[in-house]
Amino acid sequence: MRVKYFKELEELKTEVILFGSAIESMSRTLQKAFVDADYEQVMQLIHEESNIRSKERRIENDCLRIMSTQQPVAKDLRFISSVLKIANSLQRIGEHTIEIVELLDFIDPINNHFAVNHLIEMNDKVIVMLKKSLDSFIENNLALAQEVIASDNEVDALFDKTMEEIADRIRTDKNNYKQLIDTMQITKYLERIGDNTERIARWVIFAIQGDPEQQ
């Protein structure tokens, strides 16, 4: 019976790793669109919304099933509770990525836009954060998780800088007002992705050491 239980926990961890890998791939596809101004591949991400929700629901259902049938305690309970929250954060990251793509589809793409370098830098940082947070989950690595939390300050600083520059440009560039507003919204979504990646790292810490002050 316990062998089955531990196997279920391992399978649950694998589900999260695969889900995280898929979300990381979406972020890298978005980065390619920013860098190369090639929007054909990134537009395919719009069709991934139902898959993202399905994966999150499957993990949630598996967590609830294990909790109800196996009645885990202590460290295992922390792990399962963390998986629930991590899956939810991954879903939000995926949905925010799709929301960015939808803005690229709606407006004239931001190719050669003055803010594109900031967006590239922000997205690059959140990709690194996401990879580290997933690695910290895989390896039970506190140090990596703490690095992710510290890195969110850099994303926040870039967010503030970019928003300020966009606001200044809006006052003078009336011809591209709509494009600037949409770029501002993209910046907000990237900041939210950073926040959700930080949450993943905090839940990894909770799973390892059970410190409620980390949440």
pLDDT digits (tens, 9 = 90+) for 106-145: 555 454 566 788 889 999 999 999 999 999 999 999 999 9
Dig out the tokens for 157 from the structure. Answer: 């600083």
Residue 116 exposed, middle or buried by CB count within 10 Å (0-12, 13-18, 19+): middle
Q: CA 79 to CA 157: how far, in whole Å? A: 32
Q: pLDDT averaged over the chain? A: 90
pLDDT digits (tens, 9 = 90+) for 140-194: 999 999 999 999 999 999 999 999 988 888 888 877 788 888 889 999 999 999 9
Domains and CATH numbers, the chain: 2-214 (1.20.58.220)
Using DSSP, state whether 170 is helix, strand or coil: helix
Look-up of token digits 């390892």:
208
Using DSSP, state whether 52 is helix, strand or coil: helix
